[in-house]
């Protein structure tokens, strides 16, 4: 890579969350493309032409209701309790 490190901010097109990082590249377009590719490969972002979605906003992300943990989801530690 060539160039100097430049801060690139990618915004989720749905919720507006920001992913910030320093990227190298010979041009602005190359740095943005590198940032988008890295987010897709390493952070679960959905990247398509004209569309950037964070992992939470991806269409295949679990519904919010499915993300709620209840007491039944926690491990049973009653055997470790003293009487």
Model pLDDT for residues 12-22, shown as the tens digit of each residue: 999 999 999 99
Rounded to whole angstroms, how far apart are CA atoms 47 and 71? Answer: 36
Can you give the pTM of this predicted structure? 0.70
Task: Determine phi and psi for 56, rounding to 5 degrees.
Answer: -70, -35
pLDDT reported for residue 69: 45
If one counts every other C-beta atom within 10 angstroms of the C-beta of residue 10, the result is 20
Question: Mean of the per-residue pLDDT values for the chain?
Answer: 82
**Does the structure show a pLDDT above 60 at 59?**
yes
Mean pLDDT (whole number) for 73-83: 49
Tens of pLDDT, residue by residue over 27-58, are: 999 999 999 999 999 999 999 999 999 999 99
Residue 5: both structure tokens together: 């490190």
């Amino acid at each position: 890579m060539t160039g100097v490190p430049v801060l690139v901010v990618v915004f989720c097109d749905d919720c507006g969350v920001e992913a910030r990082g320093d990227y190298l590249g010979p041009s602005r377009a190359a740095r943005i493309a590198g940032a988008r590719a890295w987010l897709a490969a390493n952070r679960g972002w959905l990247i398509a032409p004209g569309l950037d979605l964070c992992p939470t906003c991806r269409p295949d992300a679990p519904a919010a209701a499915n993300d709620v943990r209840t007491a039944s989801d926690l491990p049973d530690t009653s055997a470790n309790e003293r009487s």
